[in-house]
Amino acid sequence: MVEVLKVSGLEKRFGGIVVADNIELALVEGRVLGLIGPNGAGKTSFFNLVCGVVKPDAGSIVLNGQEINSLPIRERARMGLARTWQNLRLFQSLSVLDNLMLGPRDYSADNLLNVMLRPGHVAERERDSRDRAFAILERTGLTEIAHSPISDITFGQQKLVGVARALMNDARCLLLDEPMAGVEGQAYALIQRVVRDIAASGVAVCVVEHNVAFIRDLCDEGVFMFAGKVLARGSVESLIADPLLTELYFGT
Amino acid sequence: MDYVYTILILIGLFVILASSFDLVIGHCGLISIAHPIFYAIGAYVSAMLAKEGGVPIPLAILCGGAAAFVSSVLVALPSLRVSGDYLLIASIGFQLGLIEFAKHIHSIGGAGGLTNIPPFLVNDYGRLSYVLLVLAVAALTVLFVRWLTRGPYGRMMAALRDDELAFSMLGRNAIWLKVSVFAIGSGIAGVAGGLYAHYFRFLEPDQFGLLQSSAILTMVVVGGMRTTMGPVIGAIVLQILPQAITFFGLPPSILGPLQGLMFSGLVLFFMFARPQGLIAAPDIWAGRKPKAGQRGGLADG
Ligand SMILES: Nc1ncnc2c1ncn2[C@@H]1O[C@H](COP(=O)(O)OP(=O)(O)OP(=O)(O)O)[C@@H](O)[C@H]1O
Ligand SMILES: [Mg+2]
């Protein structure tokens, strides 16, 4: 059980709103953790804290055994942390393929000197990235629309592009924020399979999702969050069977 | 004939300025209008190195470009680390401050201007040779900007414009990209400055102020941002129109303000009637076509 990501004592509040209340959580190699909880529970905020989008008030975040609290977003990504966004955040002026092309941890043109002085080297890296991108597009069933602009594809396809772009990182830790929201029928099985394959290859995965059936089918374990607190951890079955949690979830 | 040569040189110089400015504001989305100050730095550094230091002029021009490059990093780095919006204020402050400062430096001519800058090429090979030099540098600049923006560096610029947070989350360095593009654009403007100095052989601080900023901005907006030929056409049109007006024989007291009005009028007209400019950029970033035999993709080459 290798802990890829370990969060301890994580605290964050926005004014009066507590989004992280002493969170203790670990993501383990090869396993999929489901994160559930009502709207405003702090699920997305948890991802934002882990990624460095939001700075915690207290607590530590350890990735691959290294504390990353003070690292900027890009450094965390380069250590193998990848995520999708609840509101997609795809690059609208790039094609599907070019969205993916920007995703490798080491991008072909990260070094300007290489761009200027070693164009052959950069071109070779671009070719490698393109091959990888096409392999991932195939896995996610997006090959047909590789050259389409983002605005020309369906919402479900856009969700998949977000996942595909995150996969380009070859991440050790993958955070998926509501991959199923707004996605129709047949993508269900596809996303299930893709996420399972990723986990099977040794990645630590965390999925936020309101589609409880999806989480139940996919995840090895679940965590229930409410008002920034981790209230319970266990099998997804047991979490959704708990009347107290169900009440909190539906707010009745 | 000399008049035509001078116009051609001015067109060439403004093609360089507009194209490099489009790299900064159009392609990278960096809001700054201080481009002329880097033009000025290149001009003054090159002129002083050649005049006082006896540096060979081609080398002096390159040093002018390098000085503009370095000073643009010094302006952009602190401001971009704070936030993107801060660059506009910091760079205008730098532009206007440096112009005022230069007016009080006696050794570079002060407010009266720097005179007797050593000439280049013209005495030995005639004015046409200088025209050809400037047009060649202009063509190289346009091709370079096209090459850079259609390769993987350009893909980063497009993504940065769209969504800086998502860009960073992929491991890309937004600040480094902005600073490097700003410096490249400013360095090119610096080279243009050197070319200006050794032809016109006279520099004064006030010519690099906000009027010139608005002229370059107008060229890019009218021609069409993020297109190869837009800044070229913008520079030609905006250079020829004011010349054409002079043929009406209006008194200088009317002519000056009229040209200023024309710039703002054109920008306003285009903002409402044709915001994309004379040439429209495609909505989707178009990279270089992959070489034949490769898998279909848009970038690289
Ligand atoms: N940057 C911010 N500034 C102020 N308040 C914020 C910020 N980010 C989140 N919040 C607030 O924190 C609370 C938790 O938000 P968060 O997005 O983490 O919830 P969530 O569990 O992802 O909910 P949902 O299921 O609706 O996506 C919300 O009340 C939200 O308004
Ligand atoms: Mg959320």
Ligand 1 within 6 A of A40 CB?
Answer: yes
Instruction: Report the gap between the CA of B295 and the closest CA in chain A (Å).
Output: 8
Residue B260 pLDDT grade (very low, low, confident, very high; cuts 50, 70, 90): confident
Q: Which of A104, A115, A149 sits opposite B284 (nearest CB)?
A: A149
Ligand 1 within 6 A of A45 CB?
Answer: yes
Partners of B301 in the beta sheet? none
Determine whether the interchain pair A92/B287 forms a contact, defined as Cβ–Cβ distance below 8 Å: no
In this predicted model, which residue has the larger pLDDT, B22 or A249?
B22
CATH number at residue A41: 3.40.50.300
Q: Which one-letter DSSP state was computed for residue B290?
A: P
Report mean pLDDT in 10-residue bins for chain A, 252 residues.
95 94 96 94 97 97 96 97 97 98 95 93 95 96 96 93 97 95 81 94 96 92 94 90 80 66
Q: For residue A159, what pLDDT is reported?
A: 93
Q: For residue B84, what pLDDT is reported?
A: 64
Contact B20, B145 (CB under 8 A): yes
- Look at residue A155 and tell me if it is in a domain: no
Q: For residue B300, what pLDDT is reported?
A: 39
* Contact list, A89 vs chain B (CB under 8 Å): 163, 165-166, 169
How remote is the CA of residue A225 from the centroid of ligand 2, in Å? 12
This complex has an ipTM of: 0.95
Best residue among A45, A176, A207 to mutate for probing ligand 1, ranked by most atoms within 8 Å of CB: A45
Contact A149, A91 (CB under 8 A): no
Which tokens sit at B85? Answer: 């919006």
Q: For residue A252, what pLDDT is reported?
A: 57
Determine whether the interchain pair A94/B296 forms a contact, defined as Cβ–Cβ distance below 8 Å: no
Contact B239, B12 (CB under 8 A): no
| Encoded amino acid at A209, one letter | E
In this predicted model, which residue has the larger pLDDT, B273 or A152?
A152
Domain range enclosing A40? 3-80+171-250
Is the pLDDT at B41 greater than 70? The verdict is yes
Q: Which one-letter DSSP state was computed for residue B84?
A: T
| Encoded amino acid at B151, one letter | G
Whole-number percent of chain B with pLDDT over 70: 95
pLDDT tens for residues B2-20?
889 999 999 999 999 999 9
Residue of the nearest CA to atom 24 in ligand 1?
A39
pLDDT tens for residues B68-123?
999 999 999 988 877 667 899 999 999 999 999 999 998 998 889 999 999 998 77
The ligand 1 atom at the shortest distance from the C-alpha of residue A38 is 25
pLDDT tens for residues B274-284?
888 989 899 89
Best residue among A19, A84, A206 to mutate for probing ligand 1, ranked by most atoms within 8 Å of CB: A19
Domain map (residue ranges) of chain B: 2-209
In this predicted model, which residue has the larger pLDDT, B51 or B265?
B51
In this predicted model, which residue has the larger pLDDT, B297 or B2?
B2
- Look at residue A165 and tell me if it is in a domain: no
Residue of the nearest CA to atom 19 in ligand 1?
A40
d(CA B28, CA B40): 22
Q: Which of B155, B165, B174 sits opposite A94 (nearest CB)?
A: B155
Residue A225, φ and ψ in degrees, nearest 5 = -115, 140
Which tokens sit at A13? Answer: 């509040």
Residue B146 pLDDT grade (very low, low, confident, very high; cuts 50, 70, 90): very high
Contact A116, A135 (CB under 8 A): no
Which of B155, B225, B276, B294 is the best mutation test for A, with the most CBs of A within 10 A?
B155
- Look at residue A96 and tell me if it is in a domain: no
Q: Which of B159, B169, B174 sits opposite A94 (nearest CB)?
A: B159
The ligand 1 atom at the shortest distance from the C-alpha of residue A46 is 18
d(CA A10, CA A68): 13
- Look at residue A30 and tell me if it is in a domain: yes
Q: For residue B270, what pLDDT is reported?
A: 85
Mean pLDDT (whole number) for B217-221: 93
Contact A43, A35 (CB under 8 A): yes
- Look at residue A139 and tell me if it is in a domain: no
How does A230-243 read in b/e, with b if 16+ C-beta sit within 10 Å?
bbbeeebeebbebe
Q: For residue B301, what pLDDT is reported?
A: 34
Q: For residue B2, what pLDDT is reported?
A: 83
- Closest C-alpha to B16, from B149, B184, B267: B184
Structurally, chain A folds into a number of domains equal to 1
First to last CA, chain A: 38
Q: For residue B296, what pLDDT is reported?
A: 46
Is the pLDDT at B219 greater than 90? The verdict is yes
d(CA B53, CA B59): 11
Is the pLDDT at B299 greater than 70? The verdict is no
d(CA B91, CA B254): 31
Residue B268 pLDDT grade (very low, low, confident, very high; cuts 50, 70, 90): confident
Q: For residue B291, what pLDDT is reported?
A: 63
First to last CA, chain B: 43
Partners of A3 in the beta sheet? A28
* Contact list, A77 vs chain B (CB under 8 Å): 168-171
Contact B196, B55 (CB under 8 A): no
Contact A248, A41 (CB under 8 A): no
Ligand 1 within 6 A of A23 CB?
Answer: no
Q: Mean pLDDT in chain B?
A: 90
* Contact list, B298 vs chain A (CB under 8 Å): 95, 97-98, 147
How remote is the CA of residue A46 from the centroid of ligand 2, in Å? 9
* Contact list, B166 vs chain A (CB under 8 Å): 85, 89-91
Diameter of chain B measured on Cα atoms:
64
* Contact list, A145 vs chain B (CB under 8 Å): none
Contact B117, B197 (CB under 8 A): yes
